[in-house]
Structure 1
Amino acid sequence: MFERTYYATHPDMMEGATNAQLRDRYLVPGLFRAGEIVLTYSHGERFVIGGAVPGETPLDLPVQTEPASAAGHPLLERRELGVVNIGPRPGWVTVDGEIVELDRYEALYVPMGTRAVSFAGEGARFYLLSVPAHAPFPLRKVTLAEANPMQRGSLEGSNDRTIYQLVLPHLCASASLCLGLTQLKPGSVWNTMPPHVHERRSEIYLYFDLAEDQRVFHYMGKPDDLRHIVVGDGEAVISPPWSVHMGAGTSNYTFIWAMAGENQDYNDMDVCDLCQLR
């Protein structure tokens, strides 16, 4: 069921890790394969990170196969799910018989207790994020027009960007999941400036809208001991609670940020002084 399991790590591990080990422990590649649903599992907040790329026939979210005690149970029996269509064409998500159309960049919140989810639409690419939940909340579609766009940064600082909050309490209720999309404008390459740490949540970044020959340098680690991972289009990075997360690309791009933890306060973060970064 899960193609890969990622384990939680201590910040001291960073000191002796090679670049290859960093990629192995934090980079999530290969999520979007034609005609498949790919699911990975992270012990950080117990995130399920996945992708669904339907073709001529729909793809069904699988039932659990692991661990043995959960085998045969719906994946969302005790979980909630966020879905974002990052593909060039519309797609359809069927949730317990209810069909919801998602255009490019539109999101869908799927509640705990849902028994069956399927994905359809050639040209759609669905990004999937699931975390444990304590209660069901209403099924909700969110468009960019509803998503409280926030303008941040400047072209002079190479970080002129628009942040769209998709799943946050003021707009779309959830048990734990927070989710949004950030678009960098042409000429801007830096995201999440100034960088920050939030010890009460883990975060996942998915980078996309990158040309095949372009890359993002994703920075992580303690603020005084930074490392980087080179990321391509459609690849995700796991950011532990103790780690800075920021990135700079060889061109502008889009990324989806997803958080889960013990609170849903978007502004709960410790901002880092750029002069203190090492």
Structure 2
Amino acid sequence: MENRYASHPEAVRTFNTEKLRREFLIEDLFAADALVTVYSHVDRYIVGSAVPVSKDLVLEVPLQDIGAGYFLERREIGIINTGGPGVITADGESYEIAAKECLYIGLGVKEVVFRHRAGEESPRFYFVSTPAHHKYPTVKAAQEQATPSHLGSISSSNERTIYKYIHQDGIQSCQLVMGITELDPGNMWNTMPAHTHNRRSEVYLYFNMPEDAVVFHMMGEPDETRHLVVRNEQAVISPSWSIHSGVGTSNYTFCWAMAGENQTFDDMDGVAMKALK
């Protein structure tokens, strides 16, 4: 499991492109028949993927890295499938997970297994795990069961729908908040005007992008902005002090996950457009 350490905003002001990407961008996240995990010291996320093709994959990491007897001994996890239909087994109970469906698994589940359904396109399970203090039940949600919010307009190139899966009024969790945002065709901007939320950090996974498409992900302090060039199925770690916005060469979808002081989706510190530099 790769470790990513927290960076002070004053240090980030001095980063070149290579250093910025090394600190905040997860480039090689999905691999066939592999469990890929990244441990971020920003709010103790574990970000990862499981792509079972020819074999089952078990959710496990070196136990010395988390100081626990098994992965979910003191953690919870949210999983979203970005590929073909697959199966996730949690302590022997199986859940069929299709594209853009979400499965939350709470603290105390000892064995999680990712499976490819024979004859189908391989699933691509993306997950985010955070520390937990209370056991909540395992819950599956299809996209039509998520709480939708339609925002933006074609005139500002940001017409989009936000689907909330794990949140205060949806799937219950200790601190994890998770969902998907889909941009309508012809729209390219997300989360602009920008904001920060000093009480929570965030992780973005961009997907459903053409091979030759990119998203310019805006980050940094509002008066010291930087950008990352992000491609399909790459993720960005966004500290609480950083804006997190993007513009693509075409429309795209992204999965967002938050953790920190609270679970209030609208707890944001807005940044006026004239304040951006």
One-letter amino acid of the counterpart of residue 256, structure 1: C
Pairwise CA distance, 1:113 = 0.7
Does 1:117 pair with 2:115? no
Residues 1:115 and 1:17: Cα distance change in structure 2 (over 3 Å): same
* Structure 2 residue corresponding to 1:43, chosen from 38, 41, 44: 41
**Shift in Å at residue 68 of structure 1?**
8.5
Identity of aligned residues (%): 47
SS in 2 for 1:163: strand
- Contact 2:63 2:71 survives alignment (8 Å): no
Q: TM-score, normalised by structure 1?
A: 0.96
Kindly indicate whether residue 227 of structure 2 is the aligned counterpart of residue 232 of structure 1. Answer: no
Once the two structures are TM-superposed, the CA of residue 69 in structure 1 deviates from its matched residue by 4.8
Once the two structures are superposed, residues 147-173 of structure 1 have per-residue CA deviations (whole angstroms, 9 ceiling, x without a partner) of 111100011101010000010010110
Equivalence for 2:82: 86
- What is the Cα deviation at residue 63 of structure 1? 4.8
- CA offsets, 1:37-77, max 9 Å, x none? 1011000010000010001221111154324854xx11110
CA contact (8 A) 1:8 1:44 kept: yes
Contact 2:39/2:45 (8 A) holds in 1: yes
Instruction: Check conservation: 1:218, 1:245, Cα contact below 8 A.
Output: yes
1:225 Cα deviation from its structure 2 partner: 1.1
- Whether contact under 8 Å (2:63, 2:70) holds in the other structure is no
Of 15, 24, 46 in structure 2, the residue corresponding to residue 17 of structure 1 is: 15
Query: Runs in 1 of length 4+ with deviation above 6 angstroms?
Result: none
Distance 1:145 1:9, change over 3 A: same
Instruction: Number of aligned residue pairs: give it.
Output: 273
Match of 1:104 in 2: 99
Structure 2 residue aligned with 1:161? 160
In structure 2, the partner of 1:197 is 196
1:187-206: CA deviation from partner (whole Å, max 9, x where unpaired)? 10001122110000010000
Whole-angstrom distance in 2 between the partners of 1:17 and 1:27? 13
Query: Structure 2 CA distance, aligned partners of 1:181 and 1:234?
Result: 14
Alpha-carbon distance between aligned partners in 2 of 1:32 and 1:236, rounded to the nearest angstrom: 10
Report the 3-state secondary structure (helix = DSSP H, G, I; strand = E; otherwise coil) of the residue aligned with 1:221: strand
In structure 1, what residue type is equivalent to 2:76?
Answer: E
TM-score by length of 2: 0.96
Pick closer, same or farther for the CA change 1:16–1:170 going to 2, 3 Å.
same
Structure-2 change in CA distance of 1:94 and 1:188 (3 Å): same
SS, match of residue 63 in structure 2: coil
Change (3 A) 1:137 1:18: same
The CA deviation string for residues 194-229 of structure 1, in whole angstroms up to 9 with x for no partner, is 211000001000001111111000000111110000
Structure 1 segments unaligned to the other structure (5+ residues):
none
Query: Cα distance, 1:274 vs. partner?
Result: 1.0
Residue 264 of structure 1 deviates from its aligned partner by 0.3
Moved more, 60-69 or 132-141: 60-69
- Aligned CA-pair RMSD: 1.1
